[in-house]
Chain A
Amino acid sequence: MPGASRISRDANTTLLMAKKERSRQTRRARFLLLLPVLLVIGIFGLFPLSIALVYSFLEPGTYGGVEWVFSTDAYVQFLFERDIFDDTLTFNSAYLQIFGRSFGLAFITMIGTLILGFPVAYFIAARPPEQRNFWLFAITLPFWTNLLIRTYSMLLIVRDEGIVNLLLINMGIINEPLEMLYTDGAVLAGLVYSYLPFMILPIYASLEKFDFSLLEAGHDLYASRVQVFRHIIIPITRPGIVAGCVLVLIPALGAFITPELLGGGKKLMIGNLIALQFGAGRNWPFGSAAALILMALVLISLLISLRVGAAKEGSHG
């Protein structure tokens, strides 16, 4: 019936055209909606990083800023010190020490938040649903307050005239105030204080849907408490633990305020070093280089964490 098939061919063409038009409109709308964010973050968020890269290969300007002269001095300066008179290079470990301390502190912070945070995450997940929201809110609220103020309040507590010392002296436990401020310990305490919620939330998320009756099943099969923990709870929380570690490690590596206030300029971390170069240090290229090395460390940590997360999953199959 040629007449009928002609009609249906027309109809199918209309259909096809309508579908094409619809997807065209969708794509156009989507593009327009995304344009502002792509422009704003692309140009002013992502692109500046390449500027920093370029700057790290330039020479410092006299009053800050840069001179547009190519030089690898910034990177050399990281490891070596150039003698002013005879231009020889001697190995200088100062900056390496700063990076080392940063990494060490960040790593210990990660462990510290894990030890303190895991029980809290578990505890919240084990609460009845109505209580959970309260706990989550209570745990995250401090996170939203100003980091500067939070760190400052830590300062109030650990300084020589601070609460802790006051209590200890009044209770007669010690005579002289403990020097807690401006130590690595103070910085560590500050970092843990700042980033604890970042560890708690991902671990909680991995436990949120956990069926606690699995624990009964474990016990029913003669597993001890410890074994249940090891073989049931840990595997379930692994993704949360990995996520939490990443969420703590990365900001901790780049911390600035905490070491500034609680380390008092003696216990420099990478963040302070970088900021210094853009302030009184007047060495923007070196600051940029340090920032890029920090980025590299961050990326490496991310990659390692991805590996750890994936590898363990495979071995449990």
Chain B
Amino acid sequence: MIEVKNVTKRFGEGEFAVTALGDVSLSIPEGSFYTLLGPSGCGKTTLLRLIAGFELPTNGEILLDGENIGHLAPHLRPVNTVFQNYALFPHMSVARNVGFGLEMLKRPKAEIDSTIEEMLELVQLGELAGRRVDQLSGGQQQRVALARALAPRPKVLLLDEPLSALDLKLRKGMQTELKRLQNETGITFVFVTHDQGEALAMSDHIAIMSAGALRQVGSPEEIYTAPKSRFVADFIGDTNIVNAELLSFEGNKANIRFKDGSPLLVPAASTALKPGPVHVALRPETIRIVDATDDTALLKGEVIDSTYYGAGSQMLVRLDDGVEVHAQVVSPHILGSRVGLECDTAMLHVLED
């Protein structure tokens, strides 16, 4: 179990100092697939490097199973990394690369050899043991990097955007692979990516970051259906953000009203909001298009665009207050026609900002 406690990381001095991480705290459960997600510059890679030991935090602690490891050099931490550009040693064969960690730990040769074999089998590269690294394709190099990092059986495996250099098809394949590996080995995976689709597909937990701070932590479902802030709602999936008026709270549900509409009880990110204008997240696939005169319609607007993609259509509707909303529907509607939008109130979500 990894605990990050109030970790701050500043680079540079004085007025040129850059704060990459500002007082970040989180807990990574043992044996989970934990993803750090965010746009570039958000600090996710910095956090990963702090866990690996390539940087020391400016402040704060990093605990592994209760032990403070934040000040230790990388070679003293039972943590291994899969690098973005793999960093396979060019002057060593595949087998020697994979066995490198165990070699440095001075394990007996028999153990090293059998582990190398086992690891290469695990990533399905058994026949390539004797090859030189530059003879491998990108996907193969990636798997060697994985095998190399798994061979010493670390407590934690860190993956720094390992799939970003692969083409789409390989990526999808590797995503499944990684998930399988994590399940089989039971090792805690900490995965860094900027691709929200990847994060949703693979993770047990996602921590979304931006500008050196943690924005939201939760399971993929939670993050998708109950985003707390506009940033998160925007970042994950396709979402619409519409305006509404907050009237009051009933328990932890919010009483809101769309323009000219009747009050609705919907889930909210925070009960600390004051009555007044708020933003509501609305997923395109939860919207049903109805007649504008229908009284189940929550919002009304004009269809300004429609894109057919075979399985359905993506419609763009401009609401009365100017906000444009994407809706995913099965049958398209005529451009220019006035329609109503309706969805299950449980699918709406009031954001905290």
Which residues of A approach B to under 8 Å, CB–CB?
7-8, 11-12, 14-15, 17-19, 22
Nearest 3 pairs of A and B residues by beta carbon: A18-B71, A11-B61, A15-B71
Q: Per a CB cutoff under 8 Å, which of A7, A8, A14 touches B71?
A: A14
Closest to A15 in B: B71
Interface residues of B in 51-82 (CB under 8 A from A): 56-57, 59-61, 68, 70-73
Which of A7, A15, A22 is packed against the most chain B CB atoms within 10 Å?
A15
A22 surroundings in chain B (CB, below 8 A): 56, 73
CB distance from B10 to the nearest CB of A (A): 13
Interface check B248, CB cutoff 8 A: no
| Secondary structure call for the A interface | helix
Which of A8, A11, A18, A22 is packed against the most chain B CB atoms within 10 Å?
A11
Taken together as a complex, chains A and B put the C-alpha atoms of A240 and B57 apart, in Å, by 44
Taken together as a complex, chains A and B put the C-alpha atoms of A7 and B61 apart, in Å, by 9
B56 surroundings in chain A (CB, below 8 A): 15, 18-19, 22
Do B60 and A11 have beta carbons less than 8 Å apart?
yes
Interface check B6, CB cutoff 8 A: yes
With known contacts A8-B60, A8-B61, A15–B6 Cβ distance under 8 A: no
Do A17 and B5 have beta carbons less than 8 Å apart?
no
Do B5 and A8 have beta carbons less than 8 Å apart?
yes
A14 surroundings in chain B (CB, below 8 A): 68, 70-71
A/B interface sample: 26 pairs, CB < 8 A: A7-B61, A8-B5, A8-B6, A8-B60, A8-B61, A11-B5, A11-B60, A11-B61, A11-B68, A11-B70, A11-B71, A12-B59, A12-B60, A14-B68, A14-B70, A14-B71, A15-B56, A15-B57, A15-B59, A15-B70, A17-B71, A18-B56, A18-B71, A19-B56, A19-B71, A22-B73
Closest to B57 in A: A15
Taken together as a complex, chains A and B put the C-alpha atoms of A17 and B72 apart, in Å, by 11
Taken together as a complex, chains A and B put the C-alpha atoms of A40 and B56 apart, in Å, by 37
Closest to B58 in A: A15
B57 surroundings in chain A (CB, below 8 A): 15
Closest to B71 in A: A18
Taken together as a complex, chains A and B put the C-alpha atoms of A22 and B60 apart, in Å, by 18
